[in-house]
A and B are shown apart, each in its own frame.
Chain A
Amino acid sequence: MEERSGKKIFGGIAIGKIKLYSKTENKVVRSKVDDVEAEIKRYEDAKGKAIEQLHGLYDKALVEVGEANAEIFNVHAMMLEDLDYTESVHNMISMQNVNAEYAVASTGDNFAEMFANMEDDYFKARSADVKDITERVITILCGGGESSDIGDEPVIIVAEDLAPSETVQMDKSKLLAFVTRLGSSNSHTAILARTMGIPALIGIDHKEDWKGKIGIVDGYEGKFIVDPEMPVLEEYFKKKEADDEQKRLLLDLKGKENITKSGQKINLYANIGNPGDLVSVIENDAGGIGLFRSEFLYLESDNYPTEEEQFLAYKKVVETMGGKKVIIRTLDIGADKQVDYFELGKEDNPALGYRAIRICLTRPEIFRTQLRALFRASAYGNLAIMYPMIISVDEVRKIKEISKAVREELAAEGIAVGEVEEGIMIETPAAAVISDELAREVDFFSIGTNDLTQYTLAIDRQNAKLDAFYDAHHPAVLRLIQMVCDNAHKAGIWAGICGELGADVTLTETFLKMGVDELSVSPGCVLSVRKAIREAE
């Protein structure tokens, strides 16, 4: 058994035989031609044929992956008709008396390099498109046919790289997954894999002797397992079954509204802890991000992340979500989630200790840096800020003073700031009980049920001995949630739930009755909760 890690392109589990796919490499040799006119005509004929093939691919892709994705083949055809590209090939043939294959290969290299040298990742990735069209013309010039035959049985395609045209030409019913070494998450092949819903990984080096062996692609964890041992294989068969069920749900519920039978609507968002999870947020059709834990920035770094680093990370998230709401929770570390450079020290009772907003209010320089980054990023999308571990009105007023000062400072510097909703987590019984007063200070509430339950019941969830005493549906917790919702609505603000309880479908109907305005759950639970909402009265 061998295991490799790669970059996730599309989630999903595939189990099957490995097929090593390699394109027929065209060896281009430079040779001298005498009849320049005939050589140019040979190029023009090949180009015409390539364009014809691309139009055929467009028609095939149109049916299989939809117009938006199929259009790339029309763009490929236009790239071949590009005046500069054509002129470069013609010039090389006529000035240097070289063969068409060589002229096309050199021209392709030059244009591919032009894109590869661009700063932006998206445009960089376009060099693969230039190589693809160039390769197509050369194959025709060399007399090669169009073939991406992958055989008769379903396989996991393992390759060095795949061009979009190759991806589309493969027989979908035989295609279990893609695993390549090269490529980027911006490449059209990656986009196509996502659209076709095929698990895909990149950044994985392959070995020749993998051919024909059984492979497992875990598109969620970014793992590729070759020749798995029996227990691993069995475990993955189970995972695959659960995953298939989830995908059926997805097909059924994607794009549908979160609305009950009687017409009550609720927002359904996702909780994430890393920009890498954005893919699954979009895949699972969440309406926004209800809890973005900002700790990853601090945990991944060995010193305080700078304003610029944070700004770029938040900006990327709001831009990727394209106008959908993104609620970012400010720093929530403490003695249980240690970060060395904070030098927090050991505490006997970390859950009740120096953590979250308590650190931010006593070390305002850390807080201000994060707020500046957040407000700057707010100009690029729909960003909201949420403060954790609140117990008093006084804390909220202090936070608001700091936040106001930060915004004024940015305005004085001429930096644009968007409309930002500011809310608080309700995760202490104290906050729930005084939620009537807190509601007058903020734009929204988000109930963190994990901590709220632990603090209300005085039960440590990590302590297995207490399982018999633990009741996730304890009436005290449910009454607090009701109270928080009522107080929010009285003050004209909204209240959501971002703890694990939000994904508990046996409570969905109860929450709807309570008037909860938003549920934020892990991306994988979005669709099952949507199902529960749509089945509720």
Chain B
Amino acid sequence: MKSFKYKITDPVGIHARPAGRLVAEAASHHDVTITVTKDGKSADAKKLMVLMSLGVKQGDTVTVSVEGKDEATVATQMEEFFKKNL
């Protein structure tokens, strides 16, 4: 398993639209499980509703872990995505 920590800079946090983009990004990596964790609560990054239910706001730090095939590459790609979009 590969994981990284990320502090959300988007002023509105993981709200509907960015969450939608995140799910689309996560879903494009078929052979891995991607989990987003905040304050001990985890959500599958491929599931929109539960991801939004984490209520991630600006300034929150989340841990993103990737498990499965090519996990290191996917983790790097996901980290890029977070930096660019969130």
Contact = CB atoms under 8 A, between A and B. Distances in A.
Contacts of A85: 49
B50 A84 contact: yes
B47 A129 contact: no
Contacts of B23: 78
A83 B24 CA distance: 13
Contacts of B57: 120
A100 B46 CA distance: 24
Interface stretch (B11-19, B32-40, B68-76): B11-19
A129 B12 CA distance: 17
Contact of B20 (A68, A74, A114): A74
Given A71-B20, A78-B23, A118-B55, A83 B47 contact: yes
Interface string B46-82: 1111101101010000000000000000000000000
A119 B12 CA distance: 14
Contacts of B19: 75
B20 A75 contact: yes
Interface string A51-90: 0000000000000000010011011001101111100000
Contacts of A114: 49, 53
B82 to A, nearest CB: 18
Contacts of A68: 17
B9 to A, nearest CB: 12
Nearest to A81: B48
B48 A82 contact: yes
Contacts of B49: 79, 82, 84-85, 111, 114, 130
Contacts of A304: none
Nearest to A79: B48
A130 B50 CA distance: 12
Contacts, number: 51
Contacts of B11: 319, 322
A74 B15 CA distance: 14
B73 to A, nearest CB: 24
A89 to B, nearest CB: 13
Nearest to B51: A82
Contacts of A120: 55, 57
A115 B11 CA distance: 20
A85 to B, nearest CB: 6
A114 B48 CA distance: 13
Contacts of A118: 53, 55
A372 interface: no
Contacts of A123: 15, 52-53, 55
A341 interface: no
B8 to A, nearest CB: 13
Given A75-B17, A78-B24, A129-B16, A83 B55 contact: no
A319 B44 CA distance: 30
Contacts of B55: 118-120, 123
B16 A126 contact: yes
Contacts of B13: 122
Nearest to B20: A75
B17 A82 contact: no
Interface string A446-480: 00000000000000000000000000000000000
A115 B54 CA distance: 10
A129 B20 CA distance: 13
A221 B9 CA distance: 35
B17 A115 contact: no
B16 A115 contact: no
A373 B13 CA distance: 24
A129 B52 CA distance: 12
Contacts of A129: 16
Interface string A116-153: 00111011001001100000000000000000000000
A122 B12 contact: yes
Nearest to B12: A122
Contacts of B15: 122-123
A318 to B, nearest CB: 11
Contacts of A72: 16-17
Contact of B17 (A71, A111, A322): A71
Contacts of A74: 20
Nearest to B53: A114
A115 B24 CA distance: 21
A84 B49 CA distance: 8
B62 to A, nearest CB: 15
A111 B19 CA distance: 16
A296 B72 CA distance: 54
Given A114-B53, A115-B53, A118-B55, A75 B16 contact: yes
A126 B49 CA distance: 10
Nearest to A87: B47
Interface string A84-103: 11000000000000000000
A78 B20 contact: yes
Interface of A: 68, 71-72, 74-75, 78-79, 81-85, 111, 114-115, 118-120, 122-123, 126, 129-130, 319, 322
9 contacts: A74-B20, A75-B19, A78-B23, A79-B48, A84-B49, A118-B55, A119-B55, A122-B12, A130-B49
Interface of B: 11-13, 15-17, 19-20, 23-24, 44, 46-50, 52-53, 55, 57
Going nearest first, the 10 A-B pairs with the smallest beta carbon separation are: A75-B20, A75-B16, A82-B48, A82-B49, A123-B55, A71-B17, A78-B20, A78-B48, A83-B47, A118-B55
Given A78-B20, A82-B48, A126-B16, 15 more contacts: A68-B17, A72-B16, A72-B17, A75-B16, A75-B19, A78-B23, A82-B47, A84-B50, A85-B49, A115-B52, A115-B53, A122-B12, A123-B52, A126-B52, A129-B16
